Structure 1
């Protein structure tokens, strides 16, 4: 609050507020409040432009007054990643919303960046279609999902949302509206940074989608997304979840390999490995009221509570039934078929205040990454994610010191390096975020640095949010 109050006293603050109000309308421009922050960095103003042209005017105003701009969607991941060096204007995309150009049976739809995914799915469902995007963040907007490069269980079959892009419209740092797509190109003529040469980003013509996908995961640091044209698919007629209890990462490895070899065309292959509960001192009969109907309860089995491997099958009803039967035979006698997803499906294993990690590794090496994480932490940690593609999330307790988190990351990254994997800190308490290396080794950093130099040479867009302090 104090920071926001001081900002209103700076020369020109009221004039900037008046100009933002002229652009966005009286209800949609204001001084920022204590809740208007990005990873702990408080904004000075909040602007909610009513369309692309108004958003462009906000960026032109920022350029004229050398102000920084950080886009915000629903704010579900506003604390992910590094804190920006400065937030002058928080550009809220809530009014850049809508689903356009989506006639019945069309394979694509253009979607406003500020549109909540739930609204997108509801609109498409009226014509029997869906966006195959099922990210865990409740209330997330499409722009926020793309800016954070977030994906859910359906990434196994359809790829990440960023991989489903057909085109985008975005605003560059000077407020120019740019449209790029599969047939469009963007020209870069400035020289690449020393040491990079043309191999970093290249001079001349760069395919438009290369630029579009650079915006993915950029946290608004390369451009302000206005809309995205995405591939859409028919809603599947039938869905079932085939689940099996699992006990060790090595068992998961063997089962996932068997699932992928079974040719059952899974839509998702998800893993949940919770922290084991302590074993009871004495076994309790399965008929006892406290555990009746729960044969996997540790009091009955005498071993820690199981994790779960769950496979989603989608398609026509008879085809799904046939594939489910084949899959249960592959997974063994403990496998069961359910008409609904388990409670943990599509949810992160971390809570606010935890240090949240994302592990990316070839699927066949995910078990090694989990073992490495357990060894480094000195105890099992909750792990959940897409075992079929080797992407999983883990949670370290928020009470761990920054130094302890750093040592765990060093150990895990050492194991992953030899397996072409990586471990990224998605979110963390402020003391941890200030000390640890959030990204680890990043081969794409020179390309990212070159893109920043071309697209935002004055570092007005979310400065410091990108790796390397960009």
Structure 2
């Protein structure tokens, strides 16, 4: 497909992109303009939906591929695309449409940073109930990765916040889903929101997000975090079951298991020692007494009196072995992996979360950091950057074998290029459904080809 562009000439493509986006917003790509290790040829920053559509139409005429980019916070997630001709930067597809005070929805441009969204909404006492860990992420980037933070426990994923969506198909057609005619731009073709939600998690492989209509809510008057030490993963099933059965309506239930944790035997010994040192622990608010213990943190939101009453009930439920704070623990909304690590996402029923943790430890040959939404059984983990490719592949196979029997799954979120090429990133995935969506929305494979499972 690149031959058509070569015959036209790279300089001519650059000139046409500049005519569409403006001279300052189109250029040849540099070494930093890459997607999961694949360097682009051009960067285009269209100033609106129509300009973005023109970029896509230009790409279609010259058989060029297009990959959307927001803030780039998750540009290295998933598989490398087969080729990146045009990196379509959504930074100018930004803005927040004004709604009457108290409106339950907001229209937000895909390129708008979530920080800006929250700051704007807070001025009217509202918030978007999304708190993904990626600093600086745009709304479009969060939707494209279907990224979620702790508030997912009560409010669901980014996709579940959608009331409407506008995106550009591979041929440049503007499509609107789930919104009334008054909110669709002229010429937008309306479809059902179920179709629009297919774009969530598609990493730009099914369409270019333009804007979204999302639910907003009043900012809670009070927020309290109740944290309890976790001495061994074996505690998790009973802890979580008891917590959820208590009907305390938590906004989030998060787990942090650091690599400094000790063996289950030593963890249990430390816990027994703590109880011996504090015989009247029941009803008291006692923090973790041993370095290296994990933490289960519960966020309670609502009116001050109501939140305080639920916090007291939770401390009693934890037999006094807890701390109460108005600030989140330092690790809240942070992934347990860093640059160069092999980052994993594990999804498993909460009753089997401990089995997943032990499977990860066994496969890695030692403790690995695990963090995430314990109340939903969705956590992230990190295999060290020094682990060889063959060991990563063997570890993934072992963990997936344990999870398969428990209706769980493990995917590689991000990894060094060599490991990404050597291992099965996705594991078991519903390829036929994805293939049907790709065939329908991008039949010529122009949008981020190869980013979806199965090389779609």
TM-score, normalised on structure 2? Answer: 0.90
> Residue deviations 1:297-341, cap 9 Å, x none?
65xxxxx62110000000000000000000000012221110100
The residue matched to 1:265 in structure 2 has which SS?
A: coil
Q: For 1:120, what is the secondary structure of its paired residue? A: helix
How much does 1:208 deviate?
1.4
The yes-or-no answer on 1:420 pairing with 2:404 is no
> How is 1:310-329 mapped onto 2 (pairs within 5 angstroms)?
310-329=297-316
- The answer on whether the counterparts of 1:182 and 1:207 sit within 8 Å (CA) in structure 2 is no
Written as runs of structure 1 = structure 2, the 5 A alignment for 1:375-394 is: 375-394=362-381
Q: In 2 relative to 1, CA 61–11 (structure 1 residues): closer, same or farther, beyond 3 Å?
A: closer
Is the 1:240–1:338 contact (alpha carbons within 8 Å) kept by the matching residues of 2? Answer: yes
Q: Which moved more, 1:100-109 or 1:264-273?
A: 100-109
Structure 1 pair 332–71 and aligned structure 2 pair: CA distance change class (3 A):
same
| Alignment correspondent of 1:157 | 154
Tell me if 1:241 matches 2:228.
Answer: no
Alpha-carbon distance in 2 for matches of 1:337, 1:296: 12
Paired position in structure 2 for 1:189: none
Give the CA deviation at 1:364.
1.7
The worse-fitting range, judged by mean Cα deviation, of 254-263 and 350-359 is: 254-263
| Aligned counterpart for 1:208 among listed residues 157, 169, 192 | 192
Match of 2:187 in 1: none
CA contact (8 A) 1:8 1:14 kept: no
User: How many Å separate the matches in 2 of 1:21 and 1:392?
Assistant: 43
2-structure distance, mates of 1:213, 1:417: 26
Once the two structures are TM-superposed, the CA of residue 167 in structure 1 deviates from its matched residue by 1.1
Match of residue 223 from structure 1: 207
Quick one: distance in 1 between partners of 2:146 and 2:287? 39
**2:228·2:288 contact (CA, 8 Å) conserved in 1?**
no
**Residue 253, structure 1, aligned to residue 252, structure 2:** no
SS of structure 2 residue aligned to 1:239: strand
Alpha-carbon deviation of 1:403?
1.1
RMSD: 2.1
Matched, 1:96 2:85: no
Name 1:82's counterpart in structure 2.
Answer: 79
- Do the aligned partners of 1:98 and 1:115 also contact (CA within 8 Å) in 2? yes
Aligned residue for 1:276? 260
Q: Which of the numbers 326, 336, 345 marks the counterpart of 1:349?
A: 336
Q: Which moved more, 1:208-217 or 1:139-148?
A: 208-217
- Partner in structure 2 of residue 266 of structure 1: 250
Structure 1 stretches of at least 4 aligned residues deviating more than 6 Å after TM superposition: 7-10
Assess if the C-alpha contact under 8 Å between 2:287 and 2:321 holds in 1: no
Deviations 1:147-167 (A, max 9, x none): 011100000000001111111
- Write the mapping of 1:120-159 to structure 2, written as runs, cut at 5 A: 120-159=117-156
> Secondary structure of 1:133's match?
coil
Aligned residues between the structures: 426
Cα deviation, residue 252, structure 1:
2.1
- Post-superposition shift, 1:295? 7.7
Q: CA, structure 1 residues 379+232, in 2 after alignment: closer, same or farther (shift >3 Å)? A: same
**3-state secondary structure, aligned to 2:386:** coil
Structure-1 separation of matches of 2:179 and 2:436 = 22
Q: Separation in 2 of the partners of 1:400 and 1:183?
A: 51
Q: Please give the alpha-carbon distance, in whole angstroms, between the structure 2 residues aligned to 1:57 and 1:397.
A: 43
How far residue 469 of structure 1 moved from its aligned partner, in angstroms, is: 0.3
Equivalents in 2 of 1:387, 1:28: separation in Å? Answer: 43
Specify the SS of the correspondent of 2:212. Answer: strand
Indicate whether 1:336 and 2:323 are aligned.
yes
For the pair 1:55 / 2:42, whether they are aligned, the reply is no
Alignment of 1:440 onto 2:424: no
Q: What SS does the corresponding residue of 1:381 show, helix, strand or coil? A: coil
Higher deviation after alignment, 175-184 or 314-323 = 175-184
Tell me the distance in 2 between the aligned counterparts of 1:438 and 1:10: 36
Q: Distance in 2 between matches of 1:337 and 1:223?
A: 44
Contact 2:176 2:191 in 1 (8 A): no
Q: Give yes or no for the alignment of 1:309 onto 2:306.
A: no
Q: Structure 1: any 5+ residue segments left out of the alignment?
A: 1-6, 185-205, 287-293, 299-303
Distance (Å, rounded) in 2 between the aligned partners of 1:404 and 1:11: 46
Give per-residue Cα distances to partners, 1:252-289, cap 9 Å, x unaligned: 22211111011110000000000126799xx9xx9xxx
| Structure 2 stretches lacking a partner, 5+ long | 182-189, 275-285
SS of alignment partner, residue 420 of structure 1: coil
Kept in 2: contact 1:376–1:412 (CA 8 A):
yes
Contact 2:257 2:293 in 1 (8 A): yes
Distance 2:100 2:29 in 1: 40
Match of 1:384, SS? Answer: strand
* 8 Å contact from structure 1 (residues 157, 267) kept in 2: yes
SS at match of 2:395: helix
Which SS does the other structure have where 1:86 is aligned?
coil
User: Could you tell me whether the CA contact under 8 Å between 2:81 and 2:449 is conserved in 1?
Assistant: yes
